[in-house]
A and B are shown apart, each in its own frame.
Chain A
Amino acid sequence: MLRVEKITYEIKGRKLLKDVSFQLRKGEVLALLGANGAGKSSLMRLLCGDTLPTEGQVSLMGKPLQQYSPIELAKKRAMLAQHNNMSMAFKVREIVQMGRYPHYRSVPSAHDHEIVDEVMDVCGISNFADRSYLSLSGGEQQRVQLARVLVQIWDNPDSLLLLDEPVSALDLQFQQQVLALTKALSRKGFMVVVVLHDINLAALYSDRILMLKNGRKWCEGTPIEVMEKQNIYTVFSVQADVSIDTKTLQPIVKLEELLLDADQFNTKLSPTVHADKLIDSCIKAYKSDPFYRMDEVAVEMGLSELQLLKMAYPQQVSLLIPDFSTLLTEFVKLGAVYSIVYNKAGYMELKGMYSLPIRDQNQRTWTVQHGAYRMILDITKWKVGVAVCNEWGQSFQFFDEKGALLHKVALIEGSSNKEEFEALCARYKSLNQDTLQTSTDRSSSVSVPSLPVYGTKSIALSVWKGIVAQSFAQKTTASCSMIHAEGIYAYEGRIMSLVDQGERYQIIYPDCTITLDRLQGVKIVLEKNEKDTDVATFSLYAVNDTVAMQFRVEKKLLAQYHEPYQSSCYNSAVI
């Protein structure tokens, strides 16, 4: 048994190890893990008795290491060091035989020779036993040194085997073999302490794991107990996913990819054009989030959502014939779908069926009933339409002349009519798939549906949120209109749930979700109340001072917000 009691090791006032204690029973493999400089090698040097701890003590089989004579200790513990440099051309066999030096005076016995031969076979070095050590590869050299260390204690199962990174130079096969070998030896009684860098190997081949952090013991236990995301992050500063293998019940650690941009640390290379980099990061983000909102910077750089879509999914996007008014009448066949619309303040997800559209008198806008909503659409704004089929599902997406996404019709897994979607795709697929960008239309002057602006003074976001919350709590009707370049989407109903995550505010209706993820900079104004209605209207102005959303609640709710309201609204007489 190896007993380590409160050892501290100090060099020139620097404490390399602080108060480390643990025990190792016969027949156990202990893996020592830790970042570079955590004190693993120092600990190994203390365990082998080469150096004495400043405080505390290490004892082997109940006897402190310093009480052993060098030869006595050499017969009881062997250590493979991390670095083994040799400058003299010893033969492999000569080196392995040195491991038996503690056991004979000047002439090795037959027993010694047998051990040397056996271990060389086990380590796979017999076929170059007579070659010079210096002519070997790094991995072969490491195996020779390992053989020498094993030879030293091969016939004494009471001994301690210390291996400092024994597999660092080995190929996969020998990594496995060497660790399997040590584990098998431990089953015969050997105590093994092994420093490893591969945490998965440690989990596989050790009985217990000890993690060191800045010279202190961070944790100790069986692989399952110790291999936790948090421990790994603390000790190694890397993000990892830990799962349990269902067959072996061993933990498996999967590292997350760390992404670096060479421009940030190498100033001597010509930097990647900013736009390319931006596009790359946009594409990455876009692919990872179906509700990805493009960066303002990217918009300024001239990158459009349409381009992004095309770049992210070059194969999954097909261009549609721009006969959108006909297509709109076909949406009814799709069954229940999501209709998603974006604006400056957030986005709205509606669930329902498209009705047959009704065209208004001026031949410009269409009114579509979509579940509980009414959508007033100006489809002349739709310049490009595409059908998309990617990992997030199938959808039709419509973009304006600048390539900004206006309207998205997404299929719901299980409830939408998939065959019809494919039929529509086939029918409306444009023959010319190359020109994504349409020529700028003459009618781009059509303005945003104008709404009368009454209020001028804004109220605080928290106050508005409070009123919304009241409406939710009292189960009153609250209507919400998203105002968008292409039209207005209005919904009326009772709020089912509210999610407030600060920057991200969600109002959830039974089949509609409004997500306001751009609340920063949004100005909220309580519109002047018409006397004859019992609703109060809040307008949310996005950064460019256009109305992004209107929200109507019952007027009585305002009463509870008398104080803040009075101080912030120009018209207190109404209440």
Chain B
Amino acid sequence: MKQHSIIWILTAGLLVAMIVALGVGAFSIPVRDVLILLVQKVGLLRDVQVDETYSDVLYIVRFPRVLLGVLVGAALGISGAAIQGIFRNPLAEPGLIGISAGASLFAVLIIAFEGILFVGLSQLLGYYLLAFGAFVGAGLTSFLVYQLSKKKGRPRVTTMLLAGIAINAFAGALTGLITYIADEQQLRTITFWMLGSLGGATWDNVIAIFPFIIIPLLILPFFSKPLNAFALGEAQADLLGMRTDLVKRWVVILSTMAVGASVAVSGIIGFVGLLVPHTVRLLGGVEHRYVLVASAVFGALILTMADIISRVLVAPIELPIGVITALLGTPVFLYILITEE
């Protein structure tokens, strides 16, 4: 079937891109060596000799980075697809329910006031304070938006959209205010964080976010039936016996988990959540069982490729990955918009 083959092709593409991504960068590793090292990891070809440096770079630097890219890309892709599903709007994205705005606000808050306000926490969490704060911010704002969207105990999608816009604007304003009082060094950190980067990848944070992303990745595809029904309209989905309130709640929770975790470690990477599901639909249709899975794979692929570009384009300097996705994504997106029937 067409949709299955698309998923397989994308997966194959992802694997290729991952191997390429493991090799390229400021310090280049030949593909042959990458493959040998990978195979050795599984316990084969132990007798082939590979440069020690290669192995160190690969395991300590490249591996976590590529894995982080795959996780974050998959998280953004699948959440984008799910959020578009409950909003019944192909132009929605996870940012709409306040995840990114909340994460930014908290991140900026921590960057600007780390020395003053969060000393205790800073000692406790150390390096992870920023990621932790961003995750909490993401969760809090989307919870707030979700609560605001409730009318008579039932969340309403239209209200959610408007509440999301309002909360986004509000958080954006607060972020702007804090940016205004931040000093030069903090400003630079803030800007860099806001543009998104996979540069901070370590095994530790890959492991830290792994459960937050893998759980939504595994569960969200089970929502494909209700999300399809949502496309008919919420009332229609109700009539088909779907528990729409539960679906909305869980989609919001799972998306917030995935996107919140992604934002926490890699900053804000725009356009992936919007563009990936959209492209996936154009490729193979809008049925959610396909869209959700394909969006995860395609998101991972896009982010891996963007990461490659960000590392090789002006090597040895790294471009922020958010810049790459936006730079490449916007024209593609506009092209799709214009050529769409």
Contacts and interface: CB of A to CB of B under 8 A. Distances in A.
B241 A50 contact: no
Given A86-B232, A89-B286, A101 B225 contact: yes
Contacts of B242: 70, 101
Interface in A430-465: none
A72 B232 CA distance: 20
A135 B341 contact: yes
B228 A98 contact: yes
Given A87-B88, A88-B88, A90-B287, A48 B239 contact: yes
A106 B239 contact: no
Contact of B238 (A50, A94, A148, A152): A50
B89 interface: yes
Contacts of B238: 50, 70
Given A87-B89, A87-B90, A101-B225, A50 B235 contact: yes
Nearest to B225: A101
A106 B243 CA distance: 16
Max chain A Cβ within 10 angstroms of own Cβ: one of B236, B243, B341 = B236
B341 to A, nearest CB: 7
Contact of B232 (A70, A95, A102): A95
Given A90-B228, A90-B286, A90-B287, A84 B233 contact: yes
Interface string B261-284: 000000000000000000001000
A71 B241 contact: yes
Nearest to B231: A88
A79 interface: yes
Interface residues on A, range: 20 to 34
Given A70-B241, A70-B243, A106 B225 contact: yes
Interface string A67-94: 0011111110111010011111111001
B285 interface: yes
Q: Is the interface of B mostly helix, strand, loop or mixed?
A: loop
A88 B89 CA distance: 7
Contact of A79 (B89, B229, B239, B287): B239
A152 B232 contact: no
A88 B88 CA distance: 7
A89 B284 CA distance: 11
Interface in A86-135: 86-91, 94-95, 98-99, 101-102, 106, 135
Interface string A19-41: 00000000000000000000000
B287 A94 contact: yes
B173 interface: no
Contacts of B241: 69-75, 101-102
A98 B243 CA distance: 15
Given A79-B239, A90-B228, A101-B242, 4 more contacts: A70-B238, A73-B241, A98-B240, A102-B241
23 contacts: A69-B241, A70-B238, A74-B240, A79-B239, A81-B236, A84-B233, A84-B236, A86-B231, A87-B89, A87-B231, A88-B231, A88-B286, A89-B281, A90-B228, A90-B231, A91-B287, A95-B232, A98-B229, A98-B232, A101-B228, A101-B241, A102-B241, A106-B222
Closest 9 CB pairs of A and B: A74-B241, A71-B241, A102-B241, A70-B241, A88-B286, A88-B231, A101-B240, A90-B286, A74-B240
Interface of B: 88-90, 222, 225, 228-229, 231-233, 235-236, 238-243, 281, 285-287, 341
